Structure 1
Amino acid sequence: MKTQVHLFSGFLGTGKTTAIRSLIEQKPESEQWLIIVNEFGEIGIDGAVLSDNGIPVAEISGGCLCCTAGAQMGDTVKKMLKQNQPHRMLIEASGLAHAAGVIDELKAPEFQDKLDIAAVFTVVDPRQFIDPNYANHALYKDQICVCDVLLASKIDLCTPEQLAQFRVQAAQLFPPKSLIVEVENSQVKLEWLNTPTTEKSRYRIKTLPENTMGYQSQGFTFPAGRNFDGEKITNFFNELPKLAQDLVRAKGVFQVLDTWVWLNWVDGQWGANQVSWRRDSRFELIAKSFDTDEIERRLNDALEKK
């Protein structure tokens, strides 16, 4: 029996991790799943968040999954398949990954008898989808092109006019998508995993520029046992837009009052959820430019004094 592989693609902050978490909550007890998470930076945040449920999770950190991490992904897939016999494998690509390259890696001859490329999901913010600055970018086009299921998240933040424009443009995509759905908070229905795949003449776009749209990332870790002050870490997240130029994403897992919380900043807002991660506190941001030393100083200031 081949393992069904589902790729979750989408730009930074659209809700890929939340989408996978919603599926994990619905996982049939009779099925074994594996999860692979790729991060743009070196510090794995999403893997920590997804490691709550006893499902094996592997992290691939550092760059575009299909470029610098391509060989690492193949090795990771082989290792996980050797250790497990999963029904499904869910792969969360970095928000800056060229999704076509990920598909190419999974279609390698060594995996032909082991993997079946099932429904590919791309999570989009309709406000970005209708914005030519995003829609005309090769990386964004690539993520839209490869998917079978186009998942429009954050519809509660869209105006009726924006949603209407999204529906028109999404319906005109070629080849047509097998499923186009609009959801709040990236909630995915389990049956959508069985969406038929769409025949595509090619996966990889003609030119695949290995750029990251000018973004850079930085990660920080702090040993378990050191609590962060809840008020100070809240203030830190509130002040982040002033500390980083063109901040597009910030997320972290922090020990606060001996509990562990996932803080996630996107679109000028941040939210918090409790997680079972206990290994260390970690933080990562993605922006055009920032003062790494100042960010580190602010984080250290947010630690409770010994």
Structure 2
Amino acid sequence: MNKIKIDVISGYLGSGKTTFIQKLIKSTENERIVIIENEFGDIGIDGDILRDKGLDVVELEKGCICCTLKLNFLKSLNNIIEYMKPTRIIVEPTGMGLLSQIIGIVLDENNEDIKNNCKLNSAITIIDGENYLEQVELFGDFFNDQIKNANKLIISKSQYISQEDLDDIVGSLRETNNNAVIISENWDSIDLDKFLKIIDESNEKISRELYVGDVHKAMQGVSSVLVKFNNPLNMESFKNAVNELKTNKYGLIMRGKGFINYLDEKNPEIQRYAEFNYVGSNYEFENLNTKKSSEICIIGKELDEKEILNLFNFN
């Protein structure tokens, strides 16, 4: 019997995990795939995006599968194995998750269902090429756990940085993990057959180096703020508020994402919908063809929830 492949796609907040998974899905058209999605914030943005593609998504929200949601994660895995019977399970943990602990859960010899029916196919960490150095500085050993325990390190947004910076990142990654396969080329230039080979080949026995720090201490001060909008937004006002976040007056903003309903700038009688993404100090919008609840989630350190809610109160 062929065992179910489990691919763990880790990476810091906003590194591009969901985008990577969408590319992976395209390269596995003939497989039955289930995705376990674990979001740090209060709304399942990434789960919605994947579900809109017609994919089977099991969501675990408001916690981390490497600690507070461990039992829920195990239960979800066992239910997927028994009832959904996929050929591949893709696990996307929160960007604040410890890859070492997630690998430990999957490889736990005491869980007979997982041991007998599944194999850990790959442990991948997506590296944000644009924000790598800042992220390493902010979260040190905690961030390095995702690098040390991956058997593949895939650099996202490489097309937006210089070759010199890219070489520096590869060198830094190699110092932390000398065994992993490192992929630094632009994803868009990789054809689907080669993309699947990257995932499924060179997967020798995956080991893990246990995180020796205090995970709760590393995440101390990190929280999320959910902002809901009852009325269509004026895009200029929304952008002004987002730009205010960059000042760090409201805390250190690590990630922002969500969906917004806004008024067309040329014809205010027309309402439009967009996906909102904020990473580092950059943000972008992607227009949507479907209606979405207008709400965003702000993730950061030492956030001033009251002031953030006031900032986005446009009534």
Per the alignment, residue 80 of structure 1 pairs with 80
SS of match in other structure, 1:112: helix
The reply on whether 1:121 has 2:121 as its aligned counterpart is no
The reply on whether 1:236 has 2:273 as its aligned counterpart is no
What residue identity is the alignment partner of 2:235?
A: G
Is the Cα contact below 8 Å between 1:52 and 1:277 reproduced in 2? no
Q: Which deviates more from structure 2 when the two are superposed, residues 164-173 or residues 127-136?
A: 127-136
Per the alignment, residue 263 of structure 1 pairs with 276
What residue identity is the alignment partner of 1:61?
A: E
The reply on whether 1:283 has 2:296 as its aligned counterpart is yes
Aligned length: 298
Per the alignment, residue 314 of structure 2 pairs with 301
C-alpha displacement of 1:187: 7.9
CA distance in 2, matches of 1:260, 1:91: 28
CA distance in 2, matches of 1:275, 1:33: 25
User: Deviations along 1:136-164, whole A, 9 cap, x unmatched?
Assistant: 82211210112111011222343333222
SS of match in other structure, 1:238: helix
What is the TM-score normalised by the length of structure 1? 0.85
What residue identity is the alignment partner of 2:164?
A: E
What residue identity is the alignment partner of 2:255?
A: R
CA distance in 1, matches of 2:176, 2:236: 46
The reply on whether 1:219 has 2:226 as its aligned counterpart is yes
2:201 to 187, 191, 195: 195
What is the TM-score normalised by the length of structure 2? 0.82
The reply on whether 1:6 has 2:14 as its aligned counterpart is no
What residue identity is the alignment partner of 1:18?
A: T
CA distance in 2, matches of 1:153, 1:197: 21
CA distance in 1, matches of 2:300, 2:176: 30
Per the alignment, residue 52 of structure 1 pairs with 52
Is the Cα contact below 8 Å between 2:277 and 2:283 reproduced in 1? yes
CA distance in 2, matches of 1:170, 1:138: 13
C-alpha displacement of 1:214: 3.4
Q: Quick one: percent identity of the two aligned structures?
A: 24
Is the Cα contact below 8 Å between 1:37 and 1:58 reproduced in 2? yes
C-alpha displacement of 1:127: 6.0
SS of match in other structure, 1:151: strand
User: Deviations along 1:230-262, whole A, 9 cap, x unmatched?
Assistant: 333333323322352221111111233554321
2:146 to 143, 147, 152: 143
C-alpha displacement of 1:5: 0.9
Unpaired segments of 5 or more residues in structure 2? 263-269
CA distance in 1, matches of 2:172, 2:308: 40
1:273 to 280, 286, 298: 286
Q: Which deviates more from structure 2 when the two are superposed, residues 161-170 or residues 66-75?
A: 161-170
CA distance in 2, matches of 1:301, 1:186: 38
Unpaired segments of 5 or more residues in structure 1? none
What residue identity is the alignment partner of 1:197?
A: N
Please list every run of at least 4 consecutive aligned residues from structure 1 whose deviation after the TM superposition is greater than 6 angstroms: 185-188
| RMSD across aligned positions (CA) | 2.8
Is the Cα contact below 8 Å between 1:37 and 1:59 reproduced in 2? yes
1:98-177 equivalence runs, <5 A: 98-108=98-108, 109=111, 110-126=113-129, 129=132, 133-134=136-137, 137-177=140-180
User: Deviations along 1:96-155, whole A, 9 cap, x unmatched?
Assistant: 111111112222323111221111110113465556954982211210112111011222
What residue identity is the alignment partner of 2:60?
A: I
CA distance in 1, matches of 2:134, 2:229: 38
